[in-house]
């Protein structure tokens, strides 16, 4: 007898509906799975066999053929266990049910329990997209799957429970989406801006970066507070919208990194990989492509501490995602695209010894060493960074003084107000912040008056800005004007934006000459 069930196969965040055909025919006992299954799918034969027997059903001792269609798509992962088991029970006459509009997802244990499966959220979204009415997922993934509207979700504990439901013996309740998933802006943060002593100009730069989603690079001697400031950045970012949270949650679901007690991520990600990270781990990869750190930072912050210590090839792979806000991974089987709309925040010392420009400690680096250190970050990557800010050593008086700076909450309120202006500006588009603007949007929204235009022209000529850097300066000025609540970009806004572009390093040579490294 031939029966059919349905499941899903993921390709990145997209996928296809997979039809699981089960045929039981006379002959010597055999269990064959075809349709380009990988090792984990082939091993499902033993899991399914034991799960059916230990759930109180009879495993047919006949010739069983399971076909996974489309046959030219490689199948990976243990999520095919449940549809194969239900297909066998249906084909052997132990279960009668209409499964035409039902998708089954889940790994089976040997005793018949349904275990957690990665990527449930995008697979349930795919099932709804293809018009399926019901989806059965592991009970542990029920809250996650129920976030997709327009489809009924069954959170299944065991194969026995699902069969009893399909028979009508013990109907199950559909999973309900959690209503209190978001913490908004009141969630606790590990670091508050008020915890950072001094560095008021850096805090201002961080506020501008958070308001417009701009990339930021901090340079200063060791111990000046660069890492602490970076870790305080999430506390001034606006809460994620529902669409942003869903997009980010899908990435973490596919990567198998979604917290068990949090079906929908509400806090913006903050990722801080070590400088020994590989290219594939940063942008994603593998035989079956998985999201890398740039995608796991989507709608959040990617912090690269000691940025020049990262390998040149690792830093260079950031160019495309910084520009396109997506990362494309190409393999023999095809290409996979993951979202990668993140804020890049870097921290670096001014030189190898870290003391260049420090009034208290002498720098031991030669001019050639300073040049080599700076060249570890290429010019094209520098061009993609909007804000450059120096973080000097903090004086004792400031360190020992009572907290006097603004809290993250008050700064975040201004950032949220600025983001509301940008949401109105970009209504009806996929853009969320000023940093997302392309050349046409810059031309439309970043017009400056005559005096500001003269300053922008002088800055471009004096600083030798590329077209990309000039556009980023205009976008930065637009953000500063939004923070001030002004519709027009004025001289003060352009002047502040230009000062964030000044990244020239003055190197004192051994003969007293001053060489400028641009």
CATH number of the domain within which 100 lies: 3.30.230.10
Tokens representing 382 are: 């520098």
Is 513 a member of any domain?
no
Q: What is the pLDDT of residue 180?
A: 57
Asked if 160 and 197 sit in the same domain, the reply is no
Q: What is the pLDDT of residue 503?
A: 57
Is 297 a member of any domain?
yes
- With left for phi above 0 and alpha for psi between -120 and 50, is residue 112 left, alpha or beta? left
Where is the domain boundary, 133, 167, 201? 167
Cα 320 from Cα 473, distance rounded (Å): 19
Asked if 221 and 315 sit in the same domain, the reply is yes
Residue closest to 77 by CA, chosen among 22, 38, 27: 38
Asked if 151 and 199 sit in the same domain, the reply is no
Residue closest to 264 by CA, chosen among 62, 125, 409, 358: 125
Asked if 209 and 70 sit in the same domain, the reply is no
Is 510 a member of any domain?
no
Cα 287 from Cα 184, distance rounded (Å): 38
Cα 17 from Cα 177, distance rounded (Å): 23
Is 515 a member of any domain?
no
Dihedral angle sign, alpha carbons of residues 371, 375, 380, 381: negative
CATH number of the domain within which 354 lies: 3.40.50.300
Is 507 a member of any domain?
no
Asked if 89 and 235 sit in the same domain, the reply is no
Asked if 146 and 28 sit in the same domain, the reply is yes
Provide the domain count of the chain.
Answer: 2
Asked if 163 and 54 sit in the same domain, the reply is yes
Asked if 362 and 464 sit in the same domain, the reply is yes
Is 292 a member of any domain?
yes
Tens of pLDDT, residue by residue, the chain (518 residues):
899 999 999 888 888 999 999 999 998 999 999 999 999 899 999 999 999 999 999 999 999 999 999 998 889 888 999 999 999 999 999 999 999 999 999 999 999 999 999 999 999 999 999 999 999 999 999 999 999 989 999 999 999 999 999 999 998 988 887 665 554 445 678 888 988 888 889 999 999 999 999 999 999 888 888 999 999 999 999 999 888 999 999 999 999 898 877 888 888 999 999 999 999 999 988 777 889 999 999 999 999 999 999 999 999 999 999 999 999 888 776 788 999 999 999 999 988 988 887 778 888 888 888 888 888 888 889 889 999 999 988 877 677 776 667 889 999 999 999 999 999 999 988 889 999 998 999 999 998 888 888 998 888 888 888 888 889 999 999 999 999 999 989 999 999 999 998 654 333 333 333 333 33
Asked if 291 and 160 sit in the same domain, the reply is no
Residue closest to 333 by CA, chosen among 75, 115, 121, 107: 75
pTM here? 0.87
Using DSSP's 3-state secondary structure scheme, residue 457 falls into helix
Asked if 216 and 336 sit in the same domain, the reply is yes
Is 181 a member of any domain?
no
Q: What is the pLDDT of residue 186?
A: 58
Let me know the angle formed at the C-alpha of 151 by 160 and 139, rounded to the nearest 5 degrees. Answer: 35
Is 118 a member of any domain?
yes
Asked if 86 and 159 sit in the same domain, the reply is yes
Task: Give me the domain span that covers residue 72.
Answer: 2-167
Asked if 217 and 74 sit in the same domain, the reply is no
């Amino acid at each position: 007898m031939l029966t059919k069930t349905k499941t899903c196969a993921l390709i990145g965040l997209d996928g296809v509906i997979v039809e699981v055909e089960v045929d039981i025919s006379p002959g010597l006992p055999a269990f064959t799975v075809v349709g380009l299954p990988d090792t984990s799918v082939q091993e499902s034969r033993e899991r399914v066999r034991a799960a059916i027997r230990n759930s109180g059903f009879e495993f047919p001792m006949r010739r069983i053929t399971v076909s996974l269609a489309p046959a030219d798509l490689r199948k990976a992962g243990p999520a095919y266990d449940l549809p194969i088991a239900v297909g066998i029970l249906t084909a052997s006459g132990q279960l009668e049910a209409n499964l035409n509009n039902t998708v089954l997802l889940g790994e089976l244990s040997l005793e018949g329990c349904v275990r957690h499966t990665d990527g449930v959220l995008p697979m349930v979204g795919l099932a709804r997209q293809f018009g399926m009415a019901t989806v059965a997922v592991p009970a542990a993934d029920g809250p996650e799957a129920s976030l997709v509207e327009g489809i009924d979700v069954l959170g299944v504990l065991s194969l026995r429970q699902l069969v009893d439901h399909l028979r009508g013996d013990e109907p199950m309740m559909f999973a309900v989406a959690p209503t209190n998933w978001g913490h908004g802006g009141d969630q606790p943060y590990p670091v508050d801006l008020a915890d950072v002593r001094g560095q008021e100009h850096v805090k201002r730069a961080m506020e501008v970066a958070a308001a417009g989603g701009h990339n930021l690079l901090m340079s200063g001697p060791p111990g000046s507070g660069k890492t602490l400031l970076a870790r305080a950045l999430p506390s001034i970012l606006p809460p994620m919208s529902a669409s942003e949270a869903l997009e980010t949650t899908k990435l973490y679901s596919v990567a198998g990194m979604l917290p068990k007690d949090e079906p929908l991520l509400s806090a913006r990600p903050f990722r801080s990989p070590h400088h020994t990270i590989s290219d594939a781990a940063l942008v994603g990869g593998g035989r079956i492509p998985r999201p890398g750190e740039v995608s796991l930072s989507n709608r959040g912050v990617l912090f690269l501490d000691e940025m020049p210590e990262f390998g040149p090839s690792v830093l260079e792979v950031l160019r495309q995602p910084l520009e396109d806000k997506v990362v494309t991974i190409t393999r023999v089987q095809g290409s996979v695209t993951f979202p990668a709309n993140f804020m890049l925040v870097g921290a670096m010392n001014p030189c190898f010894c870290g003391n260049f420009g420090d009034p208290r400690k002498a720098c031991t680096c030669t001019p050639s060493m300073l040049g080599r250190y700076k060249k570890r970050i290429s010019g094209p990557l520098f061009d993609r960074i909007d804000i450059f800010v120096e973080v000097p050593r903090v004086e004792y008086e400031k360190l020992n003084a009572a907290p006097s700076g603004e809290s993250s909450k008050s700064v975040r309120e201004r950032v949220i107000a600025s983001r509301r202006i940008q949401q109105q500006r970009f209504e009806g588009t996929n853009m969320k912040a000023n940093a997302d603007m392309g050349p046409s949007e810059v031309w439309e929204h970043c017009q400056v008056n005559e005096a500001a235009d003269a300053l922008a022209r002088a800055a471009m000529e004096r600083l030798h800005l590329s077209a990309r850097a000039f556009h980023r300066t205009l976008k930065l000025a637009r953000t500063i004007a939004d923070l001030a609540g002004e519709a027009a970009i004025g001289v003060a806004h352009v002047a502040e934006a230009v000062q964030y572009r000044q990244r020239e390093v003055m190197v004192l040579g051994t003969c007293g000459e001053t060489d400028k490294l641009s």
